[in-house]
Amino acid sequence: SMTVQVRDYRPPPLRVDVTSEQKGLVDGEVARTEVSARYPFGSAAAGATVTWSWTRSGSDLAPEGWSGFTFEGVDAPSREGTVSQGKATIDAAGKAVIESKVVMSAARREQAALEVSVLDASGRLTGARQTYVTYPAEHEVGVREVKDWLETGASLDVEAVVVDHEGGAVAGKDVQCQIWREGWQAWWQRAKGRHDQEAEGGDDDGGDDRGPYRERHAREKKLAHRCKLTSAGAPVHCAWKPDRPGSYLLEATTRDRQGHTAVASTRVYVAGPDEHPDRDAPGTAVTLTPSQPAWKVGDTAQVAFESPFPDAEALFQVERGRVLHTERRRVSGGGQVFSFPVTADMLPNVFASVSLVRPRTGPPGAKLDLDSPDLRVGMAELKVTPAVGPLTVKLTLPGAEAAAGTKVPVVIQVTDDAGQGVPAEVALFVVDEGVLRLTKYEAPRLDESMFARKKPWFAWEDLRRSLASRVVPPLLPGPGGDGGGGLPQPLVADDRDRFDPTPLWLPALTTDARGEARATLDLPRR
């Protein structure tokens, strides 16, 4: 249970606006923002204190018109939080100027926000918020995203384009394209023993002078191919055919006149059997790679992984709460591919898992047992969408403004993915703008609420893991917190006029055969 305080809505005492004439803020640039604070009757809130903070947040922003391209690095960090903060004072004209340096966490577009709160003479706070898009450089580079994995023998192509902040292609810029092969290397290292201690001045009391062996591993990144290109009005290409399977990073880099760097990259796995496995770190989980991020019902999904064992038994399962698909196969070392049909039971997401079991391959060693049985597991999430596309809702009003107390006709049009009107049930509501400013309202994504992601309600429980594997099973999450909390004091009733923040609420409005519905909005008189 919970306790909620409910009070009448009080309109903000000030009108606070945040504006900036700067366009395209670049990393390291000083952002200059103007804050305006005035009372509803027009006079300036001179002398009021402004408290502000500049924050950043990672975002999936990308230039418009370049679907299928990525404009950031695959391993780019995402660090959110407050970049700078301070205070200012509203002048006699009702304005204050805030300056803050743009500091980005990675060479990619990011979302930034300036949040201000103004304290008036009565001690009440009025806030405002302005969002910005910050850029890593004057122009950006993008590379076309490829399938997450390819068959052996396929060519790798770094298809790169340089664009400005509006998304237009920029020609004549230098572009460095590189193809890296990534892999893990493992080796056995002997720890220090008594013999080593004696050599360093320690006492030798006899016995075995050799320390135990420990497995070490490190990730290597080797340059496989490089191209120097010049950007044009269309994407330019750097193609190369790899001579061996494995994991590859396709990367493009460019610099602007100020020396700012823009980087974009995508990763692809070239699946091939009988190749020395080095995609995953030794002793860790197996990486499962779907051929694409999402499927529609009726498609055939494909998942690839790399077996670290020359000969092993593989159990492949698709599950979410229960097993929806299972397949058992004997696999060799290197890349492997499993396929399965996508059904409606898999909406909106499922989890594909693989368990690899390798039997003992030789007698136990006296000190180092490299032939012991082993077990590896891996899991990947797969998104599933309905076979039909989403509906589009359009609102038509007589104009952008209307007088208080008048009636405003509203026309709703609902169309399918082919642009044809369809009968549908629509929820229509009108909310006061001041309330929306307080709640930071955004239009809801109904597809996300109707097909909300479901968690993997299962866990691996296998006795062989504790007997043979070097992988420590993760701890399952559990509830926490002590709950409770004191009850608030009752609020004192007042005589303020009631304010209706929702002048129109039609939760079940039905459209006709053409997909149209009509309603009338009675605007408040104040």
Report the distance separating Cα 51 and Cα 44, nearest Å.
17
Q: What is the mean pLDDT of residues 223-229?
A: 96
402 lies in the same domain as 298: no
- Which residues, listed in sequence order, are joined to residue 269 by a DSSP beta bridge? 149, 247
Averaged pLDDT, 150-174: 93
Overall domain count for the chain: 3
How does pLDDT run across 274-303, given as a tens digit for each residue?
Answer: 666 666 666 678 889 898 888 999 999 999
Which of 362, 386, 410 is the endpoint of a domain?
386
Q: What local confidence, expressed as pLDDT, does residue 99 receive?
A: 93
Give the span between the Cα atoms of 254 and 263, in whole angstroms: 7
467 vs 121: CA distance, rounded Å: 71
Residues 406, 301, single domain; the answer is: no
Which residue shows structure tokens 């290109």?
A: 229
Q: Are 54 and 36 in contact (CB under 8 A)?
A: no
Residue 300 lies in a domain: yes
Indicate whether 298 and 407 sit together in one domain: no
pLDDT of res. 493: 47
- Supply the pLDDT for residue 410: 95
Percentage of residues in the chain with pLDDT exceeding 90?
44
Q: List pLDDT tens digits, range 342-378.
A: 999 999 999 999 999 998 888 887 766 777 888 889 9
What is the predicted pLDDT for the residue at 248?
93
Q: What pLDDT, in 10s, does the model give residues 92-139?
A: 999 999 999 998 888 888 888 999 999 988 888 999 988 889 999 999
Q: Where a domain ends, among 346, 367, 386?
A: 386
First to last CA, the chain: 37
Residue 118 and residue 39 share a domain: yes
Could you tell me the CATH number of the domain that includes residue 361? 2.60.40.1930
Phi/psi for 187 (5° steps) reads -155, 160
The CATH number given to whatever domain includes residue 22 is 2.60.40.1940
Report pLDDT for 192.
63
Query: Which of 222-231, 272-281, 445-454 has the lowest average pLDDT?
Result: 272-281
* Spatial contact of 465 and 43, defined as CB atoms under 8 Å apart: no
| Structural domain containing residue 300 | 272-386
